[in-house]
Amino acid sequence: MTDIYKRILLLLLPLVFVACNQIDATTVAVSGSDNGKPTPEKAVAFVAAAEAQLAELGQEAERMSWVYSNFITTDTEKLAAVTNERFTARQVELAGEAAKFNDVAGLDFDTRRKLDMLRSGITMPAPPDAAKSAEQAEIGAQMAGMYSKGKYCYADGRCLDLGQLSDIMAESRDPDKLLEAWNGWRTISPPMRKLYARQVELANEGANELGFADLGTMWRSAYDMPPEDFPAELDRLWNEVKPLYEALHCDVRAKLGEKYGTELVPQDGPIPAHLLGNMWAQDWSNIYPLVAPDETGPGYDLSAILKEKKFDAIDMVKTGEAFFSSLGFAELPATFWERSLFVKPQDREVVCHASAWDIDEKDDLRIKMCIKINSEDFRTIHHELGHNYYQRAYNKESYLYRNSANDGFHEAVGDTIALSITPGYLQKIGLLDDVPDASADIPLLMKRALEGIAFLPFGLMVDQWRWQVFAGKVGPDGYNDLWWQLREKYQGIKAPNKRPVDAFDPGAKYHVPANVPYTRYFLARILQFQFHRSLCEISGNKGPINRCSIYGNKEAGERLNAMLELGRSKPWPVALEALTGQRHMDATAILDYFAPLKAWLDKQNEGRQCGW
C-alpha cells in the first residue's frame, strides 16, 4: 500500500511490534553471517531470502489491513494488529541482519542498494536490549493513546476532540474562540514531552546498532545522497519558491489586519498562528473568504455540474480511468471494479479516508473511498488512480523495488494528474460548454496557493526540528523554543501567546508522536509541479501551465510511464530524468505555474512592508 493513510495505519496498529517474539522458524536468520565472515555471496542469498519473506508477510498484512479498513470491529482490529506486528517485527530483524554486511566490499549495485533499503526502511529502529525494546513499544502506545483520545474541556462542560476543535478553527472568525480552541488542543501534548525524549534516546540506540549516527541520519539516508547534504538540498528548493510564499504571506497578513486589526496582526512581523483557519496553520484555504480576490470567479460549479449530469460513484471513477486510458495506459482489471469500495456501506463501519491499494503487488489494484458527488472527490479519484497506475507500472520489479523512486514521488504523481483537471479538460469530456477566460484564473490560483504554497514551509520545518532533536542539538527543555524558532524562520508564523514552560507543541501534530516522517510531503509538493511542467512541454503546450492538461496526449503518457515503471530500482535522479530530463529537483516550476498569481500579489503588495 502506498497511500499515506495506510502507511500511518501500519505505524499505528503494530505499536508493540518490538515485543513480538513468536516468529515462524522459516524466518530466522537468513544471512548465514553467523557461520563465518559475511561475504558477497552470502549477501546475495540473504537479500533474495529477505525479499521472499517480506513479500509473503507484506501481502498478508495488506489483505488484513484491507479487511480491517472495510469491516471495523474489535476482532478485525486485533487481527490487523497481529499481522502488521508480525510483518514489522520481521522488518526489524532483517534490518539488523542487513547491517552485518555494511563493511562487505565487492557487492553488486542491486545487492548493496537492497541491503541499504532493508537497513534504513524502519521508521523507529528498536534497541537490541529486550527490556528497552519493550519500553520503546510502551512509549509509542502511550503517546498514540494520548493523541487519539485527546480532548479539551470548556468551562461549560463541553469536551471537544480534534475534529470538533478543527471545525472551530476553520469556521469561526472570533479571535477569542479561535485562541481557546488553539490553546485547548495543545493541552494534550505536555505529558508527551518526557516520553518523546526517552523514545528519541531509545530509537537512536537502535539507529546506532544499524550503523547510523542517529535516527535523523538514518531517515535521510534513504534519499540517494549523503545524509549530511540533504538538509541543504531542501533549503535550496525552499529558497527557489520562497519569493512566492513571501508575497502570499504579505497579502494574507494585510487582509487579516483589516479583519482583526493591526494590533492583533502587526504588519511587520509573523502572523499569529490561530488566525489562519487550520489547527497547525499549515493550510490556509479555510480563510479564503477573508482574502479572496475581487476578480470574478471561474463561472462554473463542478459539483453542481456533476450532479446535474447525474454522475454516480462509478461514473466518477470511470472518468478518472478514461483520463489514464487517453494517455495510453491499459484499462484497470475487472477485479478493480469488483473489489474496490466506492460507496459508504450502510450496514457497517469503514475507514472512509481515500486510499489506493495494491493487494498482491501484481494486478489486484483497488481504491477505497466513500465517494461523494462533488468536485473535491472528482479530483481525489484522479489522484488515487495515479497511485494505482504507478503500482502497476513497477509490479515487474523485485519486492524491494516495488515503490516510488523516493517517498515524495508517489504522492507527487497523483497530485500531478490532479493538476490536469483544468477547465479545458472539463470541456473536452463534456462537463463544460466553454472554457472561462484567463481572468478567472486568479481566484482558482489563490485557492490552490492557500492550500499548497502555504503548506511548503511547514512541510519543510517539521523534520528540520526532528533532525536537530535526534542529533542531540537541543534537549527536552528546548524542544518548544526550537519549534517556534523554526516556524517563525520558515513560515513567518508565531504562537498567539506566551507558551507555558511545560509546553510541547510539536506533540499536537499527529506525525510527531506517531513518528511519521514529514519531508515526503514537502518533496511531493515540489515534484508535482516539476512533473506537470515537463509533461506539458512534452505534450506541446504553448500556454500558461496552470491551464495545461495532458489529457489525450500519448507521448506524455509514454514519458510518464518510463518513470513509473522504474519504481525504486534506480536512484531517484535517474527516475526524475526519465520524465523531466533533469537529475535535480526544481521548484521553479511552482513559480511558472503560479506566475499570474505572483504578478497579481505583487501589485496588491505595493506600498506594504513585506517579510517578518
Structure confidence by residue, pLDDT tens digits, 337-374: 999 999 988 888 887 888 899 998 888 999 999 999 99
In this structure, is residue 416 part of a structural domain? yes
Is residue 133 in some structural domain?
A: no
Out of 100, 123, 146, pick the residue that ends a domain: 123
- In this structure, the answer to whether residues 537 and 423 fall within a common structural domain is yes
The tally of domains found in the chain comes to 3
Residue 442 CB coordination number (10 Å)? 20
417 and 543 inside one domain: yes
In sequence order, the β-bridge partners of residue 161 are 151
Unique residue bearing C-alpha cell 499481522: 83
Kindly list the catalytic residues. Answer: 353-354, 383-384, 387, 411, 511, 521
- Predicted confidence (pLDDT) at residue 413 exceeds the cutoff of 70: yes
- Residue 407: C-alpha distances to residues 3, 50, 222, 242 (Å): 11, 21, 9, 23
The answer on 357 and 467 residing in a single domain is no
Interstrand relation of 271-272 and 493-494 (parallel, antiparallel or unpaired) = parallel
Instruction: Summarize the confidence of residues 547-556 as an average pLDDT.
Output: 96
Helix (H) or strand (E) segment spanning residue 346? none
Same domain, 363 and 379: yes
- Within 10 angstroms of residue 305's Cβ, the number of other Cβ atoms is 16
Residues 104 and 30 both lie in one domain: yes
Whether residue 338 is found in the same domain as residue 406: yes
Residue 469: exposure state from Cβ atoms within 10 A (0-12, 13-18, ≥19): buried
Are residues 83 and 29 both part of a single domain?
yes
DSSP state of 26: G
SS3 271: strand
What is the pLDDT averaged over residues 560-581? Answer: 97
Grid cell for residue 243: 519569493
Q: Tell me how many helices (H) and strands (E) the chain has.
A: 25, 6
At 131-152, the pLDDT tens digits run 998 898 889 889 888 898 899 9
Mean pLDDT of the chain: 91
- Residue 288 lies in domain: 230-297+452-516
- Do residues 221 and 227 lie in contact, with contact meaning Cβ atoms separated by under 8 Å? yes
> How much is the pTM?
0.90
560 plus 501 within the same structural domain: no
Do 95 and 33 fall within a single domain? yes
pLDDT at 92: 84
161: three-class secondary structure by DSSP = strand
Question: 353 Cβ partners below 8 Å, 6+ apart?
Answer: 5
Residues 393 and 266 in one domain: no
Averaged pLDDT, 455-466 = 97
Q: What is the mean pLDDT of residues 249-253?
A: 98
Domain-ending residue, one of 516, 541, 562? 516
Q: Is residue 482 located within the same domain as residue 566?
A: no
- Determine how many CB atoms are found less than 10 A away from the CB of residue 232: 9
Phi, psi of 160 (to 5 degrees): -110, 140
Residue 172 lies in a domain: no
Q: What is the pLDDT of residues 164-197, one digit of tens each?
A: 999 999 999 999 999 999 999 999 999 999 999 9
Same domain flag for 415 and 535: yes
Is 330 part of any domain?
A: yes
The SS3 of residue 473 is: coil
The 3-class secondary structure across 134-186, one letter per residue, is HHHHHHHHHHHHHHHCCEEECCCCCEEEHHHHHHHHHHCCCHHHHHHHHHHHC
| Sole residue written with cell 549495485 | 109
Judged against a pLDDT cut of 50, whether residue 599 lies above it is answered with yes
**Best CA proximity match to 62, nearest among 46, 41, 84, 42:** 84
6 or 112, which is more confident: 112
DSSP string computed for 223-259: GSS-TTTHHHHHHHHHHHHHHHHHHHHHHHHHHHHHH
14-393-552 Cα angle (round to 5):
125
Query: Cα dihedral sign for 575, 578, 584, 585?
Result: negative
